[in-house]
Amino acid sequence: MDPVADPSPSRRSLKRRPPARSPELSPKAGPGAREAAAAEELIRRVEELEAAAARLRGEKEAAEDAARGLRQELDAERASAETAASEAMLMIERLQREKAAAQMEARQFKRYAEGREDREREVQDELASLSDLAASYHSRLQSHGIDPDSFTDEDDEESYEEVGAEDVEQIHMAALEVKPNARESTNGMVKTMVVGNDGEEEVEDAEEEPSSPVEKEFEYTVDVTCASTTKPATSVVAEYVGDGNSGGLYARVEALEADRVALRREISVLRAERAQLVMAREMARRLCWEMVAEQRAIVKKAVVPASSFSVLGICKWVLSTLFWRNGRSTAKYTFGLSTTFLGLLLLLDRSTLLSPWRRLPRPQR
């Protein structure tokens, strides 16, 4: 291949077109051509600027449309978020109300269970006390020669039917004879049986309030026991009256009354011993506190030097003296009180022991 015949592109000669000169710079152009060229150049630049402005205006409108769409989406998201938050708050409030209601129900159920447990415990205690009382009466009847196990319902009905109007009248007379002695010995319950013309029995109960809760409980238990054993007692009394053993019946009634008085005395002694025990405990506690206070005072006096002087201490002493004179003692008037609680009252109010001259009130001017 001949390099001269087929020259390479690198050796090919290229002629470039010279740049077009502006009509103003061309030496051959006249003044009119220069003005026309300047006008054309200005028109061309204005058209380019108008095209660029239109393009920018379109871009601005597109950006505004995009921003408007984004704003709408943001508003929709915000509304959905507010709706979800409001629903969550409503759900939280509903759950709180349900929780409060459940807690209230649980508290009420707990109180109900505790109250029911207390009532059951009280019933059990009452049953235990009644069983103990029944056992004591059972042993007492056995000690007096009466066997409660020997009486049955059938025997009671037969004995009650066998007792006639004459026997009932005799029982009524025996009750009237026993009634004054029982009224003199105790302030308890009096039962009288009145028989009418047609053979009907009327029972009148006259109750008097006992002087203490123990006596009231004792009389209540006696009333229950008597009400539950009316027929056996009637048959026993009829048997004794019919056989002419009224003396033995009176002796047995007197023995029962004596046991009742002795039991009351024992109960009062037990109550007095309990009060004395409480008083001794309080005295021991007060003495312990006083000993501790004295030891602390001795330690403080040993630590504080004798030459110390405090204005605050003097002010406290003056104020305590003024208020001490104006104060009143709770155990000032001890006349007419029980000797059992007199020592306890004086012990609880130590001011009377520390200052005996305060027991009398200051004369009024």
Long-range contacts of 19-23 (CB under 8 A, 24+ apart): none
CA 328 to CA 359: how far, in whole Å? 9
Q: Which residue has the tokens 């004995």?
A: 159
DSSP 365: -
Going from N- to C-terminal start, the domains of the chain cover 32-140, 151-269, 312-359
Grouped pLDDT means (10 residues each) for the chain, 365 residues? 47 48 50 82 91 92 93 94 94 94 91 90 88 84 75 54 49 48 42 38 40 45 43 48 60 83 82 77 79 74 53 76 59 52 54 44 50
DSSP 229: T
Residue 244: how many CB atoms within 10 A of its CB? 8
* pLDDT for the residue numbered 4: 47
CA 190 to CA 241: how far, in whole Å? 20
Residue 33: how many CB atoms within 10 A of its CB? 13
* Torsion sign across C-alpha atoms 126, 127, 130, 131: negative
Q: How many residues does the chain have?
A: 365
Helices (H), 229-307: 230-243, 246-303
DSSP 148: G
Give ∠ CA 169-170-171 in degrees, rounded to 5: 90
Cross-strand partners of 114:
none
* pLDDT for the residue numbered 224: 41
Torsion angles phi and psi, residue 191, rounded to 5: -120, 130
* pLDDT for the residue numbered 194: 36
**CA trace torsion 71, 75, 76, 82 (10° rounding):** 160
pTM above the 0.85 mark?
no
- At 173-198, the pLDDT tens digits run 554 454 444 444 444 433 333 333 34
Residue 285 structure tokens: 């506690």
**CA trace torsion 66, 71, 77, 78 (10° rounding):** 170
Residue 280 structure tokens: 């001794």
From residue 246, give the alpha-carbon distance in Å to each of 103, 252, 258: 70, 10, 18
Residue 133 structure tokens: 């009382």
**CA trace torsion 18, 24, 29, 30 (10° rounding):** 180
* pLDDT for the residue numbered 353: 43
* pLDDT for the residue numbered 216: 46
Assess contact for 219 and 145: CB atoms under 8 A.
no
* pLDDT for the residue numbered 312: 75
* pLDDT for the residue numbered 38: 86
Assess contact for 144 and 150: CB atoms under 8 A.
no
- At 107-132, the pLDDT tens digits run 999 999 999 899 899 988 988 888 88
Which of these, 258, 255, 263, lies nearest to 214 by C-alpha position? 263
CA 234 to CA 237: how far, in whole Å? 5
Long-range contacts of 223-231 (CB under 8 A, 24+ apart): 223/189, 225/137, 226/191, 231/156, 231/157, 231/159, 231/160
First to last CA, the chain: 159
